Structures are given as C-alpha cells and as structure tokens.
Structure 1
Amino acid sequence: MTKPLMGQAEIADRLGVSRQRVQQLIGRPDWPTPYVTLAMGKVWRTEDIETWIRDHRPKDTGPEEDTGDTTLGRRHGRKRDDA
C-alpha cells in the first residue's frame, strides 16, 4: 500500500537516487510544491510526486509493486515501519 506522503528519503528510494540528488531536484522550478514543511523537513503528497515522475521521468513510471520486501531505503539501511 502506498503511503499518502513522502519525504526526501522516500523520494530517493522511489527514484533510486541519493538524497543529495533529491535535494537538487527540489530546486527545480517544475518540482511540486511541498504539502507541508515540518521541523524534520519538507513533505510532499505522493500523488504530486508520482505526477512529476510521470511527466519528467517516464522510464520510472508504472505502479509500484508491493513485493513483500520489508526493506525501505535499501540504499540507506532503514526498515519500513509498516512491516
């Protein structure tokens, strides 16, 4: 099940890039406006990020598959909290 909100780490995982690369993408004029800015950082609606991906990175489009893998952020060694 896809969560309704994404932070930089989730976006990095979705795109398969580093959080530093996400920071660069956030600076683009065509990047979605954050849903809210919290003390921990900016948060975006997943729907807005998926629309941006569809429009700007067509090779990354397609439904995210739930493979049952409980690893989130394999690049960062974190575990999903909904496992």
Structure 2
Amino acid sequence: MELLGLDEIRDLLGGVSKQRATIIVGRKGFPDPLVTLKMGRVWDGKTVRAWITKNRPGPADED
C-alpha cells in the first residue's frame, strides 16, 4: 500500500503550493484521509492517484 502525505500529493499535482494543495485536498469529492496523525493527514496513494487522473489529468499519470 502506498501512503501519501500532503507533500507527496503536492508532487503528484505538479508541485503546486502547500496552500493550493491544502485547498484541493479539502474539496468535496477528494478522497478522505485514512488517518490523521500529529504530523498530518495520510491518504491511500492508489485512491489519490485515481482522483487526480480523473479530475486533474497530467502529473499523476507520470511514474
């Protein structure tokens, strides 16, 4: 299982700012985090990649 934090999601979104990434992950329809730890939220990578491919095609398609 691939786990992602906000910084990894920023990279998948093409290096958007932390502020922009926070807005995106807070939108209705973005996958819910698996858990929230003291260091921040953690998402399932497969679910996030699928959302990005559907809603923001481009960077997530590149592995």
- Greater RCO between the two (CA within 8 Å, min separation 6)? 2
Task: Using the TM superposition, give the Cα deviation of residue 61 of structure 1 relative to its aligned residue in structure 2, in angstroms.
Answer: 4.2
Aligned to 1:34, the other structure's residue is in SS state: coil
Count residues in correspondence. Answer: 62
The residue identity in structure 2 corresponding to 1:12 is: R
Relative distance call for 1:39 and 1:59 in structure 2 (3 A) is same
Instruction: Name stretches of at least 5 consecutive residues in structure 1 with no aligned partner.
Output: 65-83
Gaps of 5+ in 2: none
**2:55 aligned partner, one-letter code:** H
Structure 1 length-normalised TM: 0.67
Indicate the RMSD between aligned Cα atoms, in angstroms: 1.5
Relative to its length, the structure with more helix (as a share) is 2
